[in-house]
Each structure stands twice: as C-alpha cells, then as structure tokens.
C-alpha cells in the first residue's frame, strides 16, 4: 500500500473519530514513514498515527514504545500492587478455609472445605465459560468439526436447536450461577477471624471493625477470588477458543442441568416481570450497521475476507483485471471458491489464478487450484463471460487461523477503454475492506470520469465517483468501501479520451 491509499483510508473510514493531534501533523508522520522510510520527528503525531491505523485496519499494534518514563513507572507499580493484592486475597481466603473459620463448612475437616471450594470454583468456571462459547457459536454450523470436536458438536446441537432453547439455557444457567456464587460467598466469609491464618498474630487494631466487616464478614476478599478464577478467566479463555472450551467432557451435563433448572419453573417469575414491564412498550427497530452485519455473517460463514483488492488496467485495447484477496479462516473449511463476471466477449482471453496458504503456526503450505471453464453468462441483463475456480489444501481442510492469499489475473483483448466500459465486482463472502483501482494507460486521465454503482441484495442503489490518487506509475482512479454488504455488486463504468 502506498501513501495515497493509506491517506485515503484515514480520511474516509466510516468509524474514524477526530484525533487530538491535527490531521496535517498525522499525515506528515505518515509521509515520513511511507515515503521517506524514517522514524518521524514528531513523536506525538507518530503515536496518533499508530492509534488511527490500529482503529482503521484493526491491527494489533502496541503503543508501549510511546510510553513516557512516568507512564512506564506507573504501569509497573500498578502491576506490582495488583500482584501483592492477589497474594494477600489468596492467603486470607485459603488460610481461612484451611483453618475452618468459614461459615458454610464450619466444624468440618479442612480438606473437606478446600475440596468443596475447588469443586464450586471449577463448576462456576465451566458455567461462565459455557455461556460465552454458546453465544459465540450460536449462528455457526459445526458439521465440519463433528469428528474432531464430537462433544462440542453434540452440546452445540442440543443448545442451539432453536432460539427458545438458547433462551432457556441462559435463564437456567443464570439461576445455577447465583446458587454457586451464594455457596462460594458462604465458604469465603470469615466473621470470627481475629488472627492472621496459620499464626497467633492478632489483626491490628486499626483494621477493626471496618476490615473485618467488609473484607471478612461480608466476604469481599472471597468475591475477588471467585471473580478471577471462576468468572473472568474462563470467559476470556472461551472467548479466545470457544469450540475447544465447548468440547470439554462435562459441558453437556452442565447444559442439561441448566435446561432442567429452567424446566422446574425457577425462572418463571423473571419472565412474568419482563412481560409485564414490556407490555405495550416495544422498542423501535433500527438497522444494523454495515460492520455489525459483517461480523454476523463472519460467524455464519466461518471465514472472512480481510482485504479484497481489485485492480483494473487498460492499455490500448488490452484489458487486465487482478483480484487479490486475504481470507482468514475461523473454522475448518474444505474449499474456498471465487468467481468473476466480465461484460462482453473478448477476442482473446487468458487467466492465471494463484494461491498461497499461511498456516496458523506460521508455515507456508501447498494448495491446489481447480479451474472451471469460462462460460457465457448473463448478469442483470448484461451478456458476458464468467470465470470460476476453487482452492483446496493438499491434505485436509483449512483450519482456524489459516490465512489464504488468492490472486486471479484475467487479461484479454478486444476492448476499447474510451467507450462506456464496465466491470462488475460481486462480494460473495463477508468482506472487511473492498478496494477498486482503475489505471488507464495511454488516455487522458483529466478527461476520465468513473462512477461506481453499489447495488445491495435488497435492491437499494448508491453511486459514487472515483477519486484520483498519485502512484509511482502515474495517477489512477480509486475507490474504497469498508464492510460492503454481502452479495452486493459494485459496477465500475468510465469514459475517457485517448492521449
């Protein structure tokens, strides 16, 4: 990507927010990095540039290098204090349970109290992580991983049988959670603790009564331990790898317990309250944003096209179109498909598809491409030719985390650029970024005018004129669209004069 393309993205991204640093300084930093290839002299503008690139391109770019000495010291101090607090909470909670000072198991052996605490925390962790896994995979089909993750497939099929089943599971799960939290709270409350655990040293006088009341009798220290181990950690793990979490051996048992809890009617009072409050008060419908629709489709497809770059070149009567896609796999996929439609019937036609697979472990793997014949076709009443190919791994399916880079170059002769020429692009997979570039060699670009018409699948239509950007090889017409609608078509038409 060159300077003009990145500048265009920064200025036209739909979700971009005004930066605190003036735009001229940010673009100056970008110019120094891309064109002059040096570290920008304006550190504040460089940091603002990194933050904008991270937001626009969704890149995981760290800004640790921009921390000042004071900020770095504050970061280390915060982490050190949190670590000491974790150690203190763990010492008091485990010590109180081990010495039999808890409310729930008072009088029982210490090993029994510890065993119950561990079981309750593990069960809570499973229930909390299960919620994230179910919601993350709710709209996905797991047929392709049925053999690799059989327990996840079985649990997913039972919970997502219908929207009502998911609602029943969530309701029953929440009742289950509050019961577990109540028991853990009783087990990590120590109202009679007056000495530090495992010692004969009494608590300092300045801690009485506020520390004993808030942290020991009310069990606030135990609440922190329960949140860290039994709630936040499993949710973060399930968010990173939902299908593996769902494949744990006891997930189906927990699911059935949640559905059974709902079947007992313990959640009915909440249903009565919600229906009575919402009676006659329905919220107005509002449309999804393009980014929200994109993320929903990614979940159902199992993969997404991070960048779709379409380059169109005319040189005399020769025409060349190059499509480049970067596709990230979210679940096992047996094959990837792509197609292209060209208006008219060229005198000569050549195609050259290629693909490269970057595995999740960083290795390059081989793929095979099956090319299907170019056949006469009609699209929206326009006659033309259709090109189609599929990409497969040499062995097995594409796996989550794999990135497939595909390139399809089509060249032909028999076109005249100065006429009302057209090229149609169809978005057939969830796409984050669509770029269209038109290069007209041997033509007056000042007289060129290109219009791109985006037609949504539901019939709406939007037109936009392409912008002119400067490139090392000369000026070009350029268009960018973030989160284009799935199955939308983008038709480029232009008029120009020969030089």
Is the confidence at residue 26, as pLDDT, over 90? no
- Average pLDDT, whole number, for the chain? 80
Tens digits of per-residue pLDDT, 100-118? 889 888 888 889 999 999 9
Query: What pLDDT is recorded for position 118?
Result: 94
CA distance 251 to 174: 15
Average pLDDT over residues 129-141: 85
- Residue-level pLDDT at 418: 45
Confidence of residue 19 (pLDDT cuts 50, 70, 90): low
Domains of the chain: 3-66 (no CATH), 69-278 (no CATH), 295-498 (2.60.40.3140)
What secondary structure does DSSP assign to 213-265, as a single string?
IIIIIS-HHHHHHIIIIIIIHHHHHHHH-HHHHHTSTTHHHHHHHHHHHHHTT
The pTM assigned to this predicted structure is: 0.65
**Average pLDDT of the residues in 412-441:** 73
The pLDDT tens digits of the residues spanning 181-196 come to 999 999 999 998 989 9
Per-residue pLDDT band for 95 (boundaries 50, 70, 90) equals: very high
- Residue 136 tokens read as 């993350």
At 421, is the pLDDT very low, low, confident or very high (cuts 50, 70, 90)? low
pLDDT for 273-287, tens place per residue? Answer: 888 887 766 555 556
> Residue 243 above 90 pLDDT?
no
At residue 288, the pLDDT reads: 66
- Which pLDDT belongs to residue 4? 64
pLDDT value for 17: 57
Q: Is 292 helix (H, G, I), strand (E, B) or coil?
A: helix
**Dihedral of the alpha carbons of 38, 44, 48, 50, in degrees to the nearest 10:** 40
- Report which of 381, 306, 307, 312 is spatially closest to residue 340, judged by C-alpha positions: 312
In this predicted model, which residue has the larger pLDDT, 261 or 298? 261
Q: Which of 59-73, 131-145, 214-228, 300-314 has the lowest mean pLDDT?
A: 59-73
User: Looking at the predicted structure, is the pLDDT value of residue 382 above 70?
Assistant: no
Within 13 A of 226's CA, how many CA atoms are on the CB side? 24
| Degrees, nearest 5: CA angle 321-323-327 | 175
Please give the backbone phi and psi of residue 13, each rounded to the nearest 5 degrees, phi first: -65, 135
291 pLDDT more than 90: no
Q: Is 37 left (phi over 0), alpha (psi -120 to 50) or beta?
A: left
Q: What percent of the chain has pLDDT over 70?
A: 79
Question: Given pLDDT bands bounded at 50, 70 and 90, which one contains residue 358?
Answer: confident
**Confidence grade of residue 352 (pLDDT, cut at 50, 70, 90):** confident
Q: Could you report the per-residue pLDDT of 426-438, keeping only the tens digit for each?
A: 888 888 888 888 8
Please compute the mean of the pLDDT values over residues 41-58 and round it to a whole number. Answer: 74
Task: Look up residue 410 and give its two tokens.
Answer: 């089509």
pLDDT in tens, 137-176: 887 777 767 888 889 988 988 888 777 888 899 999 999 8
Let me know: does 259 contact 168? Beta carbons within 8 Å. Answer: yes
Residues 6+ apart with CB under 8 A from 363: none
- Residue 348 pLDDT: 52
Question: 4 is written with which tokens?
Answer: 């003009």
pLDDT above 90: residue 409: no
Is 50 exceeded by the pLDDT of residue 211? Answer: yes
**pLDDT over 60 at 349, yes or no:** no
Residue 223: pLDDT over 70: yes
Q: Which range has the worst mean pLDDT, 73-82, 114-123, 209-218, 376-385? A: 376-385
State yes or no: pLDDT of 463 exceeds 80.
Answer: yes
Identify which has the larger pLDDT, 227 or 373: 227
Residue 498's pLDDT band, with cuts at 50, 70 and 90, is low
């Amino acid at each position: 990507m060159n300077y003009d393309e990145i500048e265009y993205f920064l200025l036209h991204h739909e979700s971009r927010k005004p930066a605190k640093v003036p735009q001229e300084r940010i673009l100056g930093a970008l110019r120094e990095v891309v064109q002059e290839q040096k570290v920008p002299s304006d550190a504040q503008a460089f940091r603002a540039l990194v933050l904008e690139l991270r937001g626009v391109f969704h890149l995981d770019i760290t800004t640790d290098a921009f921390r000042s000495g004071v900020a770095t010291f504050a970061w280390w101090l915060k982490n050190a204090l949190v670590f000491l607090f974790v150690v203190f909470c763990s010492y008091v909670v485990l010590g109180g349970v081990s010495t039999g000072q808890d409310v729930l198991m008072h009088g029982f052996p210490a090993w029994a109290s510890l065993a119950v605490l561990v079981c309750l925390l593990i069960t809570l962790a499973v229930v909390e992580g299960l919620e994230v896994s179910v919601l993350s995979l709710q709209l996905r089909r797991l047929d392709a991983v049925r053999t690799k993750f059989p327990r996840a497939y079985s649990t997913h099929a039972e919970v997502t049988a219908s929207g009502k089943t998911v609602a029943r599971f969530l309701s029953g799960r929440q009742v289950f959670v509050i019961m577990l939290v109540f028991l853990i709270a009783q087990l990590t409350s120590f109202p009679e603790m007056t000495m530090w655990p495992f010692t004969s040293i009494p608590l300092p006088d300045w801690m009485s009564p506020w520390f004993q009341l808030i942290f020991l009798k009310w069990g606030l220290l135990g609440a922190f331990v329960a949140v860290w181990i039994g709630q936040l950690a499993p949710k973060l793990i399930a968010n990173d790898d939902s299908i593996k979490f769902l494949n744990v051996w006891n997930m189906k048992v927990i699911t059935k317990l949640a559905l059974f809890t709902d079947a007992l009617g313990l959640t009915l009072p909440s249903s009565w309250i919600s229906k009575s409050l919402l009676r006659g008060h329905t919220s107005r419908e509002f449309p999804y944003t393009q980014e929200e629709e994109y993320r929903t489709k990614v979940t159902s497809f199992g993969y997404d096209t991070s960048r779709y770059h379409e380059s169109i070149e005319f040189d005399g009567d020769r025409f060349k179109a190059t499509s480049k896609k970067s596709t990230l796999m979210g679940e096992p996929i047996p094959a990837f498909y792509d197609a292209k439609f060209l208006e008219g019937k060229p005198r000569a036609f050549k195609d050259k598809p290629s693909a490269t697979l970057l595995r999740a472990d960083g290795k390059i793997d081989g793929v095979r491409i099956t090319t299907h014949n170019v056949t006469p076709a009609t699209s929206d009443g326009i006659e033309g030719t259709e090109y189609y190919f599929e990409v497969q791994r040499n062995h097995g399916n594409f796996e989550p985390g794999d990135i497939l880079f595909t390139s399809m170059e089509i060249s032909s002769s028999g076109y005249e650029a100065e006429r009302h020429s057209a090229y149609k692009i169809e978005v057939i997979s969830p796409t984050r970024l669509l770029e269209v570039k038109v290069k007209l060699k041997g033509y007056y670009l000042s007289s060129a005018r290109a219009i791109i018409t985006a037609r949504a699948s539901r019939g709406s239509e939007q037109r936009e004129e392409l912008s002119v950007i400067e490139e090392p090889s000369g000026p070009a017409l350029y268009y960018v669209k973030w989160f284009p609608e799935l199955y939308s078509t983008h038709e480029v038409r232009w008029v120009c004069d020969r030089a």
